[in-house]
Amino acid sequence: MQVKKQFCIRLCLLGLAWLATPALAQTPVTMQLRWKHQFQFAGYYAALEKGFYKDAGLDVTLKEGGSNISSTEEVLQGRAQFGVSNSGLVKTYMMGKPVLMLAPIVQHSPTILLSLGDDLRNPAQVAKAGLIRLQPGDESLEQKSLFVNEGIALDKLQITTEVHGIDDLLSGKVVAINAYRSNEPFELQQRGVAYSVLEPSHYGMDFYSDVLFTSGALEKAQPKMVADFRAATLKGWDYALAHSDELIDLILARYNSQHKSRAHLVFEAKTLTELISPELIQIGYSNPWRWQRIAEVYTKIGMMKPERDLEGFFYDPNPVIDLSWLYRILMIAALLLASVGGVALYILRINRKLQLSLTELKTVQEAMLHRAMHDSLTSLPSRRLLDDRIQQALTVAKRDKTQVALMFLDLDKFKPVNDSFGHDVGDLLLQQAAARMVECVRESDTVARIGGDEFIVLLRSVADAHDACAVAEKIRAAVSLPFELAGHRLSISCSIGIALFPEHGSDSFALSRNADMAMYRAKETGRDCVRMFGQASN
């Protein structure tokens, strides 16, 4: 009897173990890094080592990159499920490849063009100086774009794709190399070597970098796995940037294949944190309009053709849940009632239509048009309506030989408000800030919200730069006044960049690009200020 009892107990335990096995099983996932191990990938190390991937049911393997490894090809060929790319991912998508952008980690690309001394201060001087080392494929798209956008054809450049670090630069074999602001400058500083940097962002090439992506096919086949991997990765990045010293220790212990010193990793961490801007921008935030601008730049300089729209390029972190099974059940029930209620419903609709007076219909149509052309939260014009007004303003300005001002405005310290007080308070803040901006401009001008805490102001006619700056300062001062929101007294500020037509651009694209650049200069010089395009940052 005792033996039989023990047998039953063992059998139950085996059954429970068998039932628990699927819950404990983890999905194997391969992640292809863009380059060799360094702080550039600290978020992935944190997600792996702190158990964020494991908690999501994922068994993740990180594959180190290299000069002969294309992360996009690794993913498209099925050798990895996820990868890290640069903004050239949009070019890959436009070429018809089924890549899906999940999240840009670095908001401002760290790629630069590096030369020794201070003789080569602009792209034309570099182009004339001699041999330039660029990485092959899409890894140097921003540097190539820099030259082409300045009117220098790539076939006029002397380019080599052989990669030997900074040794060729120091030996004089090349006059400039593509580099990372977080790497090569540190090495030159350690050697006491003077150098010059050409940043693509200063020439309108302010692109995203270190973009997390996957294949569209994988997202369709395993949407939950993709969502879980993305969420765990962003959690890892939040942790890594908040605990950089801990991650540096981890890299030195387990991931230091490049044998970097602690000082180098500290330099890299500081530089990348500045470029990611986690205190201002939610990690992984992606602006579709900015991606459209990146695609337009590549198209304009002849690096790709606009053969597709970008709708399928963006990942939706909040997809519509598939309730088709429920719909089928409801459809069956509805069919049973259709024979009785269908005619009555039809008659009711006809009666309602007959009761509408082409005035009531016109009111409905105008309301629908307003919703399509305005931001739902602030009721400000949307990007679509703004583009129309910019074109109208430029047409009139060209005819009358007058000036137009375009301002890019970004709220400073808005993210901490959302994080600390919730999105409801954040929405109230956006609404009140928008109302203050409108009060600072004329009725003929336009204030538009283009997403998040980003706004654009169009002044249809200004006398000169001083006139435009005066309006911008008025807006800056208004936004800086305290806000009373849901029992909280909050203060923020804003950074404003200005570009003038025709001085700073002859079309909407050039004006937008230069106003955007001026805004980033305002942020770099301490925020809560106004910068005209081309103005010195003193």
Report the relative pairing of strands 111-116 and 195-198 from DSSP bridges.
Answer: antiparallel
Is residue 253 within 8 A of residue 45, CB to CB? The reply is no
Asked if 342 and 285 sit in the same domain, the reply is no
What is the Cα–Cα distance from 195 to 171, expressed in whole angstroms? 14
What is the Cα–Cα distance from 69 to 163, expressed in whole angstroms? 13
Q: Which of 154, 186, 203 is the last residue of a domain?
A: 203
Place of tokens 């700073």: 504
Give me the number of domains the chain comprises: 4
User: What burial class does residue 111 get, using C-beta atoms within 10 Å of its C-beta: 0-12 exposed, 13-18 middle, 19+ buried?
Assistant: buried
Asked if 101 and 119 sit in the same domain, the reply is no
Q: What are phi and psi for residue 418, nearest 5 degrees?
A: -60, -45
- Residue at 333 is within a domain: yes
Asked if 307 and 337 sit in the same domain, the reply is no
Provide the b/e sequence for 282-302 (b: ≥16 CB within 10 Å): ebbbbbeebbebbbebbeebe
Place of tokens 């401009």: 441
Q: What is the pLDDT of residue 385?
A: 87
Residue 369 in this model has a pLDDT that exceeds 70: no
- Give the whole-number percent of the chain exceeding pLDDT 70: 84
Q: Which of 156, 179, 203 is the last residue of a domain?
A: 203
Q: Which residues contact 61 (CB under 8 A, 6 or more apart)?
A: 28, 29, 30, 31
- Residue at 438 is within a domain: yes
Asked if 425 and 509 sit in the same domain, the reply is yes
What is the Cα–Cα distance from 64 to 69, expressed in whole angstroms? 9
What is the Cα–Cα distance from 139 to 156, expressed in whole angstroms? 20
- CATH code of the domain covering residue 151: 3.40.190.10
SS3 call for 400 = helix
Q: What is the pLDDT of residue 348?
A: 60
**438 alpha-carbon distance from chain centroid:** 27
- Residue at 267 is within a domain: yes
Asked if 102 and 115 sit in the same domain, the reply is no
Strands (E), 151-208: 158-160, 176-180, 195-198
Strand (E) or helix (H) holding 472:
helix 465-480
Q: Which of 172, 203, 234 is the last residue of a domain?
A: 203
pTM over 0.75: no
- Residue at 10 is within a domain: no
SS3 call for 208 = coil
- Residue at 13 is within a domain: no
Is residue 461 within 8 A of residue 402, CB to CB? The reply is yes
What is the Cα–Cα distance from 80 to 215, expressed in whole angstroms? 10
- Residue at 17 is within a domain: no
Asked if 424 and 500 sit in the same domain, the reply is yes
Report the relative pairing of strands 131-133 and 158-160 from DSSP bridges.
Answer: parallel
For 438-497, how does the pLDDT look when each residue is reduced to its tens digit (9 = 90+)? 999 999 899 999 888 999 999 999 999 999 999 999 999 999 999 998 888 999 999 999
**Tokens in use for 354?**
């007959």
Asked if 412 and 503 sit in the same domain, the reply is yes
Q: What is the pLDDT of residue 42?
A: 97
Q: What is the pLDDT of residue 144?
A: 86
- Residue at 50 is within a domain: yes
Q: What is the pLDDT of residue 20?
A: 44
Mean pLDDT on 344-373: 61
6: pLDDT confidence band, cut at 50, 70 and 90? low
Place of tokens 């300005």: 397
Asked if 379 and 266 sit in the same domain, the reply is no
**396 alpha-carbon distance from chain centroid:** 34
* Lowest mean pLDDT segment, chosen from 11-15, 111-115, 124-128: 11-15
Report the relative pairing of strands 82-85 and 209-215 from DSSP bridges.
Answer: antiparallel
Asked if 231 and 179 sit in the same domain, the reply is no
Is residue 42 within 8 A of residue 255, CB to CB? The reply is no
Torsion sign (Cα): 157, 162, 166, 167? negative
Which range of residues forms the domain containing residue 256?
Answer: 22-106+209-313
490: DSSP letter: E
* Lowest mean pLDDT segment, chosen from 85-94, 283-292, 389-398, 525-534: 283-292
What is the Cα–Cα distance from 526 to 514, expressed in whole angstroms? 19
Q: Which residue has the higher pLDDT, 199 or 320?
A: 199
Is residue 498 within 8 A of residue 406, CB to CB? The reply is yes
C-alpha separations of 15 from 8, 18, 25, 201, 256 in Å: 10, 5, 16, 61, 45
SS3 call for 496 = strand
CB atoms within 10 A of CB 452: 17
* In 107-255, alpha helices (H): 123-129, 141-149, 167-171, 184-191, 216-221, 223-242, 244-250
Instruction: Convert 412-444 into a string of H (helix), E (strand) and C (coil).
Output: ECHHHHHHHHCHHHHHHHHHHHHHHHHHCCCCC
Residue 277 in this model has a pLDDT that exceeds 50: yes
Mean pLDDT, the chain, whole residue set: 86
Asked if 115 and 37 sit in the same domain, the reply is no
Asked if 302 and 167 sit in the same domain, the reply is no
- Residue at 216 is within a domain: yes
- Cα angle for residues 231, 211, 495 (degrees, 5° grid): 95
User: What burial class does residue 385 get, using C-beta atoms within 10 Å of its C-beta: 0-12 exposed, 13-18 middle, 19+ buried?
Assistant: middle
What is the secondary structure of 244-311 as a DSSP string?
HHHHHHHIIIII-TT---HHHHHHHHHHHHHHH-TTTS-TT---HHHHHHHHHHHHHTTS----S-SG
349: pLDDT confidence band, cut at 50, 70 and 90? low
What is the Cα–Cα distance from 458 to 148, expressed in whole angstroms? 29
Asked if 518 and 401 sit in the same domain, the reply is yes
| Residue type, position 506, single letter | S
